[in-house]
Structure 1
Amino acid sequence: MKIVKNSLALFGLIALAGLFIFALQDAPTDENFEKKLINDYNVYALQVPENLDFAGEPMPLNNPDILERMDRELLVNTYWQSNGLLMFKRANKYFPVIEPILKKNGVPDDFKYLAVIESGLTNAVSPAGARGVWQIMKTTGQEFGLEVNDNVDERYHLEMATEVACKYLKESKEKLGSWTLAAAAYNAGMSGIARRLEEQNVANYYDLLLGEETGRYMFRIVALKEILSHPNKYGFNFRSKDLYTEVPTYKVEVDTAVTDFTAFAKKFNINYKILKLHNPWLREPHLNNKSRKQYFIEIPKEGYYSANP
């Protein structure tokens, strides 16, 4: 028994000594903190994949210019970690809305990454006046059948805007000959890309000398495609419960004017803010609708919001 007690005492002494040494080694001094920071945070050069493509059209990475430009966008978007995580979160919410519309229209699935580049999957407003997730200009929206005015702006309606984007992209593909050029035309315009192809006597996006924004455009799209498709490879760690999800809704048909959306929302046990979150295309607190047009307003199903109406 005495031997056991002595052994336990010796073990306890060794353990205390170990803790003391560990405490001294990891004491939060400025010097140790700086060393720990340097050792724990590392920035690595990235290996550009040998084969990258957009919509099945290969990127010519054997060209050193193309390789360097691709490397730049992979680095920038990998190490902008906060933005990258937001893209993963939002993609989980909005890609399920976008993907079936692209498929229905025969537009390659890769174009969902174009929306990521255009707006960060938010209802952004550009200095030039483009709006919504797909960053559609007013004249383009109206040309392709969207209602765009101070009262209703369907560029903010994700499903309808995605339909318009599909029409524009298919028209661009028909005119320019490739999905890559169609994507570039989404940024620079069909006539702008066609003119540059003619001026420079080339037929490929990667052979064009373009301005900064359009010149980086395809590389940014492909970089986001690569990163969002392989989160672990690029150091993004999250659980499925960390991602955003779409709140289920049902549609309410309206074919008359609505004088007060606050009162309208209250009928469905939600408030004005929540109504606008799900219907950002309604731009004012009322709906004019002199033409008795048929609209469908999204109402969230019960149990998802706790806000008082």
Structure 2
Amino acid sequence: MTSSTARIFRLSAVAIILMAGGAFISTAQIYPQEELHFRAPAVPRQIIFAGDTVRFDRSDLYERMDRELISFTYMHSNSILMLKKSDRYFKQIEPILKQNGIPDDLKYLMAIESNLNPKAYSSAGAAGLWQFTKMTGKEYGLIIDAEVDERYNIEKETLAACKYLRRAYEKYGDWMTVAASYNAGQGGISRRLTDQRQKSALDLWLVEETSRYMFRILSAKMFFENPAAFGFNVNDFEKYPCHSPKEVVTVSGAIASLVDFAEEHGVTYYQLKEANLWLRDNKLLNKAGHTYKIIIPSGK
């Protein structure tokens, strides 16, 4: 039982005792009225996302946005953790998005895909911050085998995501539709646009997951840009830092033991693996002779 719940129960008990004694005290007298109110954040009239204006002047659009804003507000532990992680991961991907001509707002797509968990793995087999499946990851140039899974390499997976997003935008010319295609696939979204005679995925009848997905991204933008409006206050010093590596080692050959490799570079095996989640084994035989960059963390 939470402290606030316990408090309500205690106050309710007091009210019952007082009523039994012939005196009646209202809940408002025991528990100030403002403390009983749970408010949803206001739905804006419109929001600018990736340079496009998304309006909520239709009741269906308003209600779909309202639902996701409420979700962000009251998923307390998850929302706080995402705020704490935001600097660490946004600072790594923002320059890559910019260099590849992808609007900065698309980082919020990544945020809702994985909740900013670089180890995320879905029941559908999607992995990493950008949640690529094996098939799609390989299609966009990621190496995925028993030793290496670049879906967990933040730089490589972000570059792959940029390729996907750019191609989708060339097809649809609308970033909200691009976002929907990231969730449901371009084939499915294209068919529905044709069948329902619409130009934007916002106007499509879709399965609930994809329908909510677009509004979750918009809500994420509002949440990260102004968390105080949602009732959250995480100070800068409380956020997890993005540490610069001590060094980056380029490897083209084999590493028989990553434990030995870590020790030779003055870090623990845990620190090495945490900084290089794409290394999926305790060795790197690298029979294909690929060139990899292994981060040696600072140890802070």
Tell me the secondary structure at the aligned position of residue 55 of structure 2: coil
CA distance 1:164–1:276, shift in 2 (3 Å): same
Match of residue 17 from structure 2: none
Work out which of the residue numbers 111, 116, 125 in structure 2 matches 1:116. Answer: 111
> How far 1:292 moved relative to its partner?
2.4
Kindly provide the CA deviation profile for residues 113-168 of structure 1, in whole angstroms up to 9, marking residues without a partner as x: 00111001112111111110000011111111110011100010001000000000
TM-score, normalisation: structure 2: 0.88
Q: Distance in 1 between the 2:9 and 2:61 partners?
A: 46
> How far 1:54 moved relative to its partner?
2.0
Work out which of the residue numbers 261, 271, 293 in structure 1 matches 2:268. Answer: 271
Match of residue 255 from structure 1: 252
Match of residue 73 from structure 1: 68
User: 1:210-249 counterparts in 2 under 5 A?
Assistant: 210-249=206-245
Match of residue 297 from structure 1: 294
Number of positions where the alignment pairs a residue of Structure 1 with one of Structure 2 = 277
- Please say which structure displays the higher CA radius of gyration: 1
> How far 1:237 moved relative to its partner?
1.2
Flag structure 1 segments of 5+ consecutive residues without an equivalent: 1-27, 305-309
User: 1:112-151 counterparts in 2 under 5 A?
Assistant: 112-122=107-117, 123-151=119-147
Q: Does 1:89 align with 2:58?
A: no
Q: Distance in 1 between the 2:280 and 2:116 partners?
A: 19
> For residue 174 of structure 1, what is the amino acid of its counterpart?
E
Kindly provide the CA deviation profile for residues 73-99 of structure 1, in whole angstroms up to 9, marking residues without a partner as x: 111111212211111111111100010
Tell me the secondary structure at the aligned position of residue 59 of structure 1: strand
Does structure 1 conserve the Cα–Cα contact (< 8 Å) formed by 2:153 and 2:278? yes
Cα RMSD, aligned residues only: 2.0
Tell me the secondary structure at the aligned position of residue 46 of structure 2: coil
Q: Distance in 2 between the 1:189 and 1:267 partners?
A: 45
TM-score, normalisation: structure 1: 0.85
Tell me the secondary structure at the aligned position of residue 289 of structure 1: coil
> How far 1:284 moved relative to its partner?
0.3
> For residue 99 of structure 1, what is the amino acid of its counterpart?
E
Q: Distance in 2 between the 1:119 and 1:104 partners?
A: 23
Tell me the secondary structure at the aligned position of residue 52 of structure 1: strand
Q: Which runs of 4+ in 1 moved over 6 A?
A: none
Which stretch shifts more, 34-43 or 92-101?
34-43
CA distance 1:37–1:276, shift in 2 (3 Å): farther
Match of residue 100 from structure 2: 105
Tell me the secondary structure at the aligned position of residue 269 of structure 1: coil
Q: Does 1:55 align with 2:54?
A: no
Match of residue 205 from structure 2: 209
> For residue 112 of structure 2, what is the amino acid of its counterpart?
I
Work out which of the residue numbers 274, 277, 283 in structure 2 matches 1:280. Answer: 277
Q: Distance in 2 between the 1:85 and 1:235 partners?
A: 10
Tell me the secondary structure at the aligned position of residue 247 of structure 1: coil
Match of residue 18 from structure 2: none
> For residue 10 of structure 2, what is the amino acid of its counterpart?
D
User: 1:187-198 counterparts in 2 under 5 A?
Assistant: 187-198=183-194
Tell me the secondary structure at the aligned position of residue 267 of structure 2: coil
